[in-house]
Chain A
């Protein structure tokens, strides 16, 4: 499978600081998606970046994709306590039929007030 692997596994920062988490994968992808999960609830979609894109922004979020290094990073600027959550990257590779779809293990972000 083309499992994404996030790092770090856990990150603790102060409110107002920036948080960066990374996702690495092993094969060619169609797109990469970042999701957030609050305390064992459902996942919320943050950003989708396609394989031919290098950077996308959404509010305080910035995602980069380096297909040559097979890695992506999610930057949260000016973090808030409400950003405390687990963040997952989702790798979508291959064609619709028979593709393997995997999430990484996630990065647990704690933003201290």
Chain B
């Protein structure tokens, strides 16, 4: 099976812009989770989607949003970008949720100037 794919791999944006990142889970996986990784804050959970519904949400402002489509592909959107949003954004998929093994994609590295 193909692994988790994320697009784009690298992205440069300026403050105030918005960005949409995409994640395609492993075939058959219904759960997609998003994480933000920064040198100062480590790995932080953003949200989890399961069968097109947001099931869990981390402690991030409303500028961070996501959705999941019927084919389990997921997108996350960040509006009004700030310098502090520069990070590696990781997507993970699993069969039924984060109680089980998560399979991570390579990440999207976002740089906000």
Contacts and interface: CB of A to CB of B under 8 A. Distances in A.
Contacts, number: 62
B103 interface: yes
Contacts of A96: 55-56, 97, 99
Interface residues of A, number: 26
Interface in A38-93: 40-45, 48, 88, 90, 92
Interface of B is mostly: strand
Contacts of B97: 96
B90 A42 contact: yes
A96 B54 CA distance: 11
Contacts of A43: 90, 92, 102, 104
Contact of B105 (A35, A42, A92, A97): A42
Q: Which among A31, A43, A88, A104 has the highest number of chain B CB atoms within 10 Å?
A: A43
